[in-house]
Amino acid sequence: MTETSTAGHASGVLYVVATPIGNLADMSARAIETLRQVDQIVAEDTRHSRKLLQHYAIQTPMSALHEHNEREMAPRLVEQLLAGASLAMISDAGTPLISDPGFNLVRMAREAGIRVVPIPGPSALICALSASGLPTDRFAFEGFLPAKRAARRSRLERLLRETRTLVFYESGHRIVECLQDLCELFGAERRAVLARELTKQFETIQDAPLQRLAQWVVDDPNQQKGEIVLLVQGWPEPQAHAVTPEAENLLAVLLEELPVKQAAKLAARITGLNKRALYDRALELKKNR
């Protein structure tokens, strides 16, 4: 498992290997073969990953790479790769680097001309999104929200008018507070989905307006346990031919100084709404004066 680096000498390959998020049967044959053949596996938690390796009779040596030692370990691992070693990186569950360590190692490896090969597989955010019933053509993954309430609310306020489906990871002991903040800031009727313990025995995927979802989680303490993905419907975009109350107010002001056609044209430029719809509404406003 060697490649030729940009410097012209043989170097190893860094494999980024996805592992199951719960159900061990989701491990791909390619992932198993890769973990067996590389010289070394770097794992977020070697104690946790040892169970997975034992299940598949993988005896490859392991070392730890986590958020507390990555900056120190990454240069050493790159040196091993440059010397010809092949490494596989795994996290505790799912696809490495997605709210998990590994970014510094991948970046340094690529900068050194080392080939980085993804071995795709499970990802909690994609798993949840695929079964959520919310729009999947455009989405924004926000990872974990800040733990402190003020910082969390500040982040959510910036996302209030995000039109894409929002995807968050959240811990069980903060899910109630998170849902309450979302309900207050995004509105009680915004739809959301709580996906918990995906692929595991107590998998739960529940969708409801935010207020009902928050109350459901409060009423059932079991929903406050385990690994949680929270998805929230995006801000509804105005229909192309709809005239919003804000646009109507703008038209009323412009009509005090401009003819109907010019007022509609300027309002369309400012709001991005349909010019014909604005023109028709401006005519109505002019007639009713």
What is the distance between the alpha carbons of residues 217 and 202, in angstroms, rounded to a whole number?
A: 15
Are 148 and 177 in contact, with CB atoms under 8 Å apart?
Answer: no
Which pair of tokens denotes residue 268? 């369309």
Total Cβ atoms within 10 A of residue 8: 8
3 state SS of 212? helix
What is the distance between the alpha carbons of residues 276 and 112, in angstroms, rounded to a whole number?
A: 56
Does residue 10 register a pLDDT over 60?
yes
What is the distance between the alpha carbons of residues 198 and 181, in angstroms, rounded to a whole number?
A: 24
Q: Which of 86, 21, 90 is nearest to 53 (CA)?
A: 90
Does residue 16 register a pLDDT over 90?
yes
The mean pLDDT value for 238-249 works out to: 77
pLDDT of 157 reads: 95
pLDDT of 1 reads: 57
Q: For 167-206, what is each residue's pLDDT tens digit?
A: 999 999 999 999 999 999 999 999 999 999 999 999 999 9
Provide the whole-model pTM.
Answer: 0.78
Mean per-residue pLDDT of the chain: 92
Total Cβ atoms within 10 A of residue 23: 13
Q: Where does the pLDDT of residue 239 fall: very low under 50, low under 70, confident under 90, or very high at 90 and above?
A: low
The mean pLDDT value for 42-62 works out to: 96
Q: Is 276 exposed, middle or buried (0-12, 13-18, 19+ CB in 10 A)?
A: exposed
Q: For 91-110, what is each residue's pLDDT tens digit?
A: 999 999 999 999 999 999 99
pLDDT of 241 reads: 66
pLDDT of 8 reads: 45
Which of 32-36, 248-252, 285-289 ranks highest by mean pLDDT?
A: 32-36
Q: Residue 42 is inside which H or E element, if any?
A: strand 40-43
Q: Which of 229, 182, 177 is nearest to 203 (CA)?
A: 229
Q: For 122-162, what is each residue's pLDDT tens digit?
A: 999 999 999 999 999 999 999 999 999 999 999 999 999 89
Does residue 7 register a pLDDT over 60?
no
Q: Where does the pLDDT of residue 5 fall: very low under 50, low under 70, confident under 90, or very high at 90 and above?
A: very low
What number of helices (H) and strands (E) belong to the chain? 11, 11
3 state SS of 276? helix
Lowest mean pLDDT across 1-15, 44-58, 256-270, 275-289: 1-15
pLDDT of 268 reads: 87
- Strands 40-43 and 87-90, by their bridges, are parallel
Q: What are the φ and ψ backbone dihedral angles of 50, each rounded to 5 degrees?
A: -60, -35
Which pair of tokens denotes residue 206? 């529940």
pLDDT of 87 reads: 98
- Burial of 206-236, coded b for 16+ CB within 10 Å and e otherwise, reads ebeebbbbbeebeeeeebbebbbbbbbbbbe
pLDDT of 148 reads: 96
Does residue 240 register a pLDDT over 90?
no
